[in-house]
Structure 1
Amino acid sequence: MADFTDTYSTSDLSRKSGDIIAQALRHPVAITQRNKPRLVLMNIEDYDRLRQRADMRMTGTIEAMPVDVLDEFAAAVEAYAQEGDGERP
C-alpha cells in the first residue's frame, strides 16, 4: 500500500466523516475495509493534478499504425531478434 499519513477504516468513515474529510482536504487519506486498502479520499485539486499527469497514450492495432512507425518497429524487432540469435537467458 502507498504511504499515507492517515488511514481510516470504513467504520471510521461513518463515525468521523467530518474529521476525515478535513484531513483529505489537506492530503490524500486511505480508507480500508477489513484491513485492506480500498479507497483514497483526496481534494479535487490533487485529483485534477493526477489526471493531468496521467499517461494519455492510446492503444491501437498494427493496421492503424502509421507506415513510418511500423517500419521503425519492424526494424527494431528484427535487430532484437538478430542480436541474441534467438537465444534468451
Structure 2
Amino acid sequence: MATTTIQVSRETRDHLASLAAERGLTLGQLVQQLAEREPTREQIAERLKADREVARRNMGVEMSDEEFDRAPDVLGNIYRIAAEKVRAARDDAA
C-alpha cells in the first residue's frame, strides 16, 4: 500500500500520537480508522437514498424525497419520549 505525508501542527500530531498509543495503533492506523468513520457527503447521500428506498418498500407507499424532507423526525421523537420516561423514572425513584 502506498503511503503519503500529511502536515499538521505539532499539537495535533502529538494528540493523535497519544490517541494511537492508547489504542495500540500506529498513527497511520488511527488516521485510517478516523477517516473510515467519517462518511463523505456523497456517501451520506447514497445512504439516505438507500434508506428511503427501504422505507418506501416497507411502508408500501410512494413518498417523494420532498415528502420525506417534510415528514416529522420520528427517530428524534422516539429519543425524546425515551428520555422523558427515563427522567420520570429517576424522579419516581428519588
Compute the TM-score of the two structures, normalised by the length of structure 2: 0.27
Specify which structure has the higher proportion of helix. 2
TM-score normalised by length of structure 1:
0.28
As a proportion of its length, which structure holds more strand?
A: 1
Which of 1 and 2 has higher RCO (CA within 8 Å, sep 6+)? 1
